[in-house]
Amino acid sequence: MQAVDTVNLGGAAAPTLSMISLFLQADLIVKGVMVLLLAASFWSWAIIFDKVLKVKRLIRAADAFEESFWSGGSIEDLYDRIGTRPVDPMSATFAAAMLEWRRSAAKGLVVVGALQASLKERIEKAMNVTVGRELERAERYMSFLATVGSTAPFVGLFGTVWGIMNSFESIAATKNTSLAVVAPGIAEALFTTALGLIAAIPAVVGYNKLTTDLGRYGNRLDNFSSEFSAILSRQLEEKA
Contacts of residue 155, defined as CB under 8 A and 6 or more positions apart, other chains included, come to 33, 36, 37, 196
pLDDT of residue 5: 46
pLDDT of residue 27: 76
pLDDT of residue 110: 53
Residues 24, 145, 59: CA angle, nearest 5 degrees:
135
pLDDT of residue 179: 61
Say how many domains are in the chain. 1
Give the span between the Cα atoms of 46 and 49, in whole angstroms: 5
Give the span between the Cα atoms of 113 and 103, in whole angstroms: 16
Domain extent, residue 33, equals 28-239
Q: Residue 229 domain-assigned?
A: yes
Q: Residue 81 domain-assigned?
A: yes
pLDDT of residue 153: 93
pLDDT of residue 16: 57
Listed as ranges, residues in the chain with pLDDT below 50 are 1-14
Closest by CA to 34, choosing from 158, 169, 182, is: 158
Q: Residue 14 domain-assigned?
A: no
Q: Residue 52 domain-assigned?
A: yes
pTM of the full predicted structure? 0.80
Give the span between the Cα atoms of 45 and 122, in whole angstroms: 41
Q: Residue 140 domain-assigned?
A: yes
CB of 148 closer than 8 Å to CB of 235: no
Q: Residue 15 domain-assigned?
A: no
Which SS3 state, helix, strand or coil, does residue 7 take?
strand
pLDDT tens-digit series, residues 125-153: 999 999 999 999 999 999 999 999 999 99
Q: Residue 33 domain-assigned?
A: yes
Q: Residue 16 domain-assigned?
A: no
pLDDT of residue 222: 94
